[in-house]
Each structure stands twice: as C-alpha cells, then as structure tokens.
Amino acid sequence: MKTPITVSVTGAAGQIGYALLFRIASGALFGPDQPVNLRLIEIEKALPALEGTVMELKDCAFPLLSEVVATADLDEGFKGANWALLVGSVPRGPGMERNDLLGINGKIFTGQGEAIARSAAEDIRVLVVGNPCNTNALIAMRNASGVPNDRFFAMTRLDENRAKAQLAEKAGVHSSDVTNLCIWGNHSSTQYPDFTTALINGQPVTDIITDREWLENTFIPDVQQRGAAIIKARGASSAASAENAAIDTVRSLVTPTPAGDWTSVAVCSDGSYGIPAGIIASMPIRTEDGKSWSVVQGVEVSAFSQEKISGSIAELQSEMDAVKDLLA
Ligand code: NAD
Ligand code: LMR
C-alpha cells in the first residue's frame, strides 16, 4: 500500500466542497491505487453540516480513504498537507463581478497562507478556487513565508473546459478534439480564451471555424460571462463543473502533459510574455514529470491577442493594488 497523500480542503461544507470530497476519496485525483487523507476546514458555524458530510464519506467505505479530519483550526487542517484546495469563500451573486468579493474574501487567504507555511508538508502545492481566485492566490502566496512561489495555482481550468466545449459544439466535434487552448490572465470577465492558437484534431481552429465574427464577438464574451450565465440560470454559482475543473487541474499538474499541448492555470509570472513578474496570471503551462512545471514558450501572440491579454493583466494589477495591505 502506498503512503497516503494528504489533501486539505477549505470550504468543505460548501457546494463545491460537497462534490469534490467524494471524487477525491474515490481516487479521481491521484488514481485508483493511491490512498488519501482528507483534512477538511470550515468556519465554526459550518462544522455541524460538515460533520454530516464526514458521516457520508465514512458511509461510502471508500477503499482509498485512510483518514478524515474536520476542523476549524487552520494548523490542524493544513497539518502535513501535500495539496491544499482553497475553496472556502463567499461566492458572488447576480449582478456582481468576482472582484467585488475581494473585500470579503481576500482576508481569508492571509491566515491560510500563514498556516500553510507553518503546518503543511515540505512539498505542499496549493490550488485556489475561491474567488477572485487569482488575487486570493497572490495573497496566500505572499503570506506563506518560505513556501516557494511555484507551489501556488489559481483555477482557470473551468474556463478552458468551457472554451473547448463551445468550440467543439460549433465545429461539430468532441471537446477532447480541441487542444492548445490557453486562457490568459484573470479568472474574470476580462479573461482571454485564445482561439487563435487552438487546434481541432491538429488543425487551426480558425481553419475549421471560419466565422471570425462568431469567434471574436460570441465565443469570447460567452466564455468570459459563462459563470454569470450559470448564476442567472441556477440562482447559485457553478458547482459540479467547478469541482470537476479542480480535479482536472490537479491531475494535469501531477501527470505529464501530452506532447505538444498545454493546460491553463494561473501561476506566479516569471515575466514570460511580458506579464509582470510576481502576479498570478493564467498562461500556457506544461509539466514533464508531474512535479515541476514550466510556462510554454513561443506561443504566438498576435496584436489582437496582445490587446486582450494586456487588458486582463491591467485588471490583475489593479486588484493587486486594492489588496496591497494584505500582501506580506
Ligand atoms: P458555498 O457558499 O457553497 O461554500 C463556501 C463554503 O466556504 C461555505 O461552506 C463556507 O462556510 C466556507 N467558508 C467561508 N469562509 C471560510 C473560511 N474562512 N475558511 C473555511 N471555509 C470558509 O460556495 P461554493 O459554491 O462552494 O463556492 C466557493 C468559492 O468558489 C466561491 O468563491 C466561488 O465564487 C468560487 N468558484 C470559483 C470557480 C473558479 O473557476 N475559480 C468556480 C466556481 C466557484
Ligand atoms: C465560475 O466561473 O463559474 C465561478 O467563478 C463562479 C462565478 O462567480 O462566476
């Protein structure tokens, strides 16, 4: 039996948490022969509800689930964590932008960053899902003294999956036929789903979907606004698709990226593509060994793409400015 991997999940009693825990415990994150420990973190008042979820986890008798801990104590929750999935935070409601949540959610990530630095395992990796996820990840990273910056990620995989699904539907192919699709910038309505480099079965998307007007003026805004459209339709923000994207993100970071392709995840910029170093921005990422990752270099950035990317980076810089008091 392998040594269990410890996964800490914040917001474990929330709607994404509820979906996520059962998939992690069933092996969807690390495969069918890898045991996991779950350390579930909630605010005090949600602990009774979380206790119910713990009962259900036990009732599943998952062969891979070694240990479950539910707590409101951050050090206990992040103790020995190899992965921390930071989901816990308030979701937006109708008519809000995600960065309207900065004032409410930003401060959650200072204490969590500090506790991760104190209590997590040496090889900790952190995926921030709670919105606005790029800037929340920045806050956690900057407060996690001693944890390397390349261990922090913010989730834009849901946007990538949405973009692939929309291109596939338009082209009459399966979403798995769409590759090399990068979400650039912020997980917000300024994000840039870059159709210009994307491929369908190895062919440029623009050769297959020749309706440029649709690509520029329907596809891009639909991906940018998909979260808001779901909130309008469900009366609650995306949950199962967000949980699925969190699983996809981690799996993509722990398994080698298929040859020639990349995945979208927001990472701490090293200055690639003119994105200022130190901000958490989505870009094309590969991993060869499932441990370290690198920014894919040489992706063509047209003048059209550059303008869109720059707009989203400017928004990230203004979010960073708004939370400067939270950055250690
Ligand atoms: P939810 O309200 O159902 O659950 C959030 C949970 O977080 C609650 O149980 C709450 O008690 C808990 N929580 C709040 N503050 C906490 C803290 N300090 N520590 C630990 N737990 C805390 O919300 P949800 O639908 O699960 O969404 C969670 C977050 O994920 C929201 O911010 C949402 O906007 C975001 N989200 C991001 C993406 C993405 O693509 N990045 C996609 C969907 C949702
Ligand atoms: C999403 O993209 O579905 C989430 O970020 C939730 C939201 O606020 O849109």
The residue to mutate among 87, 128, 187, 230, having the most atoms of ligand 2 within 8 angstroms of its beta carbon, is 230
Pick the catalytic residue from 92, 125, 187, 286: 187
Residue nearest to atom 9 of ligand 2 (CA): 227
Question: What is the 230 CA–ligand 2 centroid distance (Å)?
Answer: 8
Shortest CA distance to 197 belongs to which of 127, 280, 264?
Answer: 264
Ligand 2 atom nearest to 98, measured from its CA: 8
Ligand 1 atom nearest to 46, measured from its CA: 11
165 lines ligand 2 (CB under 6 A): no
227 lines ligand 2 (CB under 6 A): yes
174 flagged as catalytic:
no
Q: How far apart are CA 252 and CA 161, in angstroms?
A: 13
98 lines ligand 2 (CB under 6 A): yes
Give the chain as a 3 state SS string: CCCCEEEEEECCCCHHHHHHHHHHHHCCCCCCCCCEEEEEECCHHHHHHHHHHHHHHHHCCCCCEEEEEEECCHHHHHCCCCEEEECCCCCCCCCCCHHHHHHHHCCHHHHHHHHHHHHCCCCCEEEECCCCHHHHHHHHHHHCCCCCHHHEEECCHHHHHHHHHHHHHHHCCCHHHEECCEEEECCCCCCEEECCCCEECCEEHHHHCCCHHHHHHHHHHHHHCHHHHHHHHHCCCCCHHHHHHHHHHHHHHHCCCCCCCCEEEEEECCCHHHCCCCCEEEEEEECCCCCCCEECCCCCCCHHHHHHHHHHHHHHHHHHHHCHHHCC
Please state whether 202 falls in left (phi above 0), alpha (psi between -120 and 50) or beta.
Answer: left
pLDDT tens, position by position, for the chain (328 residues)? 899 999 999 999 999 999 999 999 999 999 999 999 999 999 999 999 999 999 999 999 999 999 999 999 999 999 999 999 999 999 998 889 898 999 999 999 999 999 999 999 999 999 999 999 999 999 999 999 999 999 999 999 999 999 999 999 999 999 999 999 999 999 999 999 999 999 999 999 999 999 999 999 999 999 999 999 999 999 999 999 999 999 999 999 999 999 999 999 999 999 999 999 999 999 999 999 999 999 999 999 999 999 999 999 999 999 999 999 999 8
Question: What is the 71 CA–ligand 1 centroid distance (Å)?
Answer: 16
Residue nearest to atom 34 of ligand 1 (CA): 91
Q: Look at residue 328 in the predicted model and tell me its pLDDT.
A: 84
Report how far Cα 67 is from the mean position of its chain's Cα atoms.
25
157 lines ligand 2 (CB under 6 A): no
Q: Look at residue 290 in the predicted model and tell me its pLDDT.
A: 95
Q: Look at residue 217 in the predicted model and tell me its pLDDT.
A: 98
Ligand lying nearest the CA atom of residue 246:
1
